Amino acid sequence: MFGLGFSKLVVLVILIALVWYGFKYAARVEAIRRSVRDEAARRQARPGVRPPSRSVEDLVKCPQCGAFVSATGATNCGKPGCPWGK
């Protein structure tokens, strides 16, 4: 009657899905851009305030128990013969 066969319906459904997911993707990209822009504006509003820095420590392996401990502040693991601390 209208000349709509199965293949035309499948193509129509695929096109509708592509448009739907295209709009969802565009909205997601815009949300990311907005959050980056807001973060940049927040940083410019407080120029003297620096974000907290993350400290990193080197770890060494305890020869007695095999646990990795901080190289600068290692403490005794409690096993006899532990080289760290008292």
pTM surpassing 0.85?
no
Instruction: Match 């907005």 to its residue by tokens.
Output: 34
Secondary structure letter of residue 54 according to DSSP? P
Name residue 61's beta-bridge partners. Answer: 68
Q: What is the DSSP string of 28-46?
A: HHHHHHHHHHHHHHHHHH-
Contact indicator for 44, 56 with CB cutoff of 8 Å: no
Write down the pLDDT at residue 13: 95
**Residues in the chain where the model's pLDDT stays below 50:** none
- pLDDT for res 17: 97
Of 42, 47, 73, 51, which is closest to residue 60 (Cα–Cα)? 73
Number of helices (H), then strands (E), in the chain = 1, 2
